[in-house]
Amino acid sequence: MSRNWVFFLEEPSAEDFLRGFLASRTPADVTLHFQVFEGKQDLEKQLARRIRYWRLPNSQFLVMRDQDSGDCIQIKQRLRALCDEASRPEAVIRIACRELETFFVGDWEAVAAAFDKPALGAHARSAKFRAPDQLGSPSEELKRVLPFYGKRDGARRISRVMVPERNRSTSFQFLFKALCNF
Indicate the average pLDDT of the chain: 96
pLDDT at position 30 is 98
pLDDT at position 146 is 97
**What is the mean predicted confidence (pLDDT) over 96-122?**
97
The percentage of the chain sitting over the pLDDT mark of 70, rounded to a whole number, equals 100
**pLDDT greater than 90 at residue 10:** yes
**pLDDT greater than 90 at residue 170:** yes
Using one digit for the tens of pLDDT, what is the confidence trace for 38-49?
Answer: 999 999 999 999
Domain boundaries, the chain: 3-99+171-180, 101-169
Distances (CA, A) of 80 to 2, 86, 89: 26, 10, 7
**What is the mean predicted confidence (pLDDT) over 132-154?**
96
**What is the mean predicted confidence (pLDDT) over 169-181?**
97
CATH topology of domain 3-99+171-180: Rossmann fold (3.40.50)
For residues 112 and 157, the answer to whether their CB atoms sit within 8 Å is no
Sheet order of strands, 92-96 included: 30-36, 3-9, 59-66, 92-96
Neighbours of 92 (CB within 10 A): 18
Residue 97: phi, psi to the nearest 5? -55, 125
* H-assigned helices in the chain: 12-22, 40-52, 72-85, 101-105, 108-114, 138-145, 151-161, 170-180
pLDDT at position 22 is 98
pLDDT band (50, 70, 90) for residue 1: confident
